[in-house]
Structure 1
Amino acid sequence: MKRKASDSEEELDYLERGIKKLKRIFEGLPEPAFNLEDYMMLYTILYNIKSQPTYPVNEDPKQLYNKYKQVLEDYMPSKVLPSLREKHDEYDLLRELLKSWANHKFLVKFLSLVFLQLQAQGAYIP
C-alpha cells in the first residue's frame, strides 16, 4: 500500500510531538508520562520511514539522525546549564547536577531505543 503524503506528514508531526513531550517531562512541566502505546507508535513511525523508500525524509537518510543528535546537543546548553547557574548552594548545585545527569541518560536511552531503526538500517555513521 502506497503512503499518502498526508500520512507521512502526520507521522512526522507525531514524532516531533513525541520528542517535545519528552523534553517537557524533563523540564518538569505538566505532561503525562509516555505509555507503551506512545512508545510503540514512535517506533512504528520510524520503522515505516525506513521501510518505505517513498517516504519524504528518505531523500536524505541522515535527516532523522541529525534531528536526534540535535535534541541531545540542545538539551545541555538550553536547559541544564541555566538551571545549574541559578544554584549558589553547593548542595543544591550537586542535586541539580545529579538530576540533570539522570535526565540526560534517560533521554539518550529513550531516543536510542526509538531511533534503533535508523541504526539497524545503517542510516547513520558514528
Structure 2
Amino acid sequence: MASITDNAAELLLLLFLVITFLQSGIDKIIDWGGNLSWLKGHFSKTPLAGLVPVLLATVLLAELIAGILCAIGLYQLIASGESKVAFYGAVLSCVSLLMLLFGQRIAKDYVGAKTIVVYFVPAVFLVFLLQG
C-alpha cells in the first residue's frame, strides 16, 4: 500500500498515458481505413503526403508500445516500487506526442498542435517525476 500512497502522482499520470495511448492505438487498428483516409486528406498538401501509411504505422507502433510500457510500469510501481519501465513508457509517450505535434505543425493545423500540448505537459512532468 505504501507504493500507492508514495507514488500517487506517478500512478495517476501512468494511468492517464495508458488510457490515452492504448485507446488511440486500438482505434487506429480498428479503424485503419478511416484514419488513413482522413490523414491522407490532412497531409495532402504537405511534404509528408506520400508517407502517410508508413507514418501512421510508425505512430501506431509507438503509441501501442508506450501504452504497454506505461501499463507494465504502473504494475511494477505498485508491486515493487520499481520505476524503470514506467520511465521508458513516459519517455516514449513524449516521443509519440512529439511525432504527432510535428505532423500537426507540418499540416499547419495549429489548433490540433495546441491540443497535443495538453497531453505533452503531463507526460513530460511524469518523466521529471520518474527520473532517478
Using the size of structure 2 for normalisation, the TM-score is: 0.36
Give the structure with the higher percent helix.
2
Instruction: Please tell me whether Structure 1 or Structure 2 has the larger radius of gyration of its CA atoms.
Output: 1
